[in-house]
Structure 1
């Protein structure tokens, strides 16, 4: 029966650690902009491809 008290205490302690990490991430601005990184790949300019005739002249 004493193991159940240990497991409950450990789970509460682990939950408090994760809650503290969440609040730290919010305070330091880790989740400020979630939209831009996913759209950046769509908005980047593509590099122009070389012409095939330029590559064959080597």
Structure 2
């Protein structure tokens, strides 16, 4: 039997848009992950960056 609480944490969604933001992106992600939210969904949207932002995220955060 599964018992769920009526007081579960709500899902919090953070959307981080980026364009050539590799220098700041990992810091932004780390800041979000330090929050006390239990249910956190993070969406990083890259708009065709010509820097290494997507590679930095993939290397640092395998879940992303």
Alignment TM-score, normalising by the size of structure 1: 0.25
Identify which of structures 1 and 2 has the higher relative contact order when contacts are C-alpha pairs closer than 8 Å and 6+ apart: 2
Pick the structure with greater CA Rg. 1
Tell me which protein shows more strand as a share of its residues.
2
Tell me which protein shows more helix as a share of its residues.
1
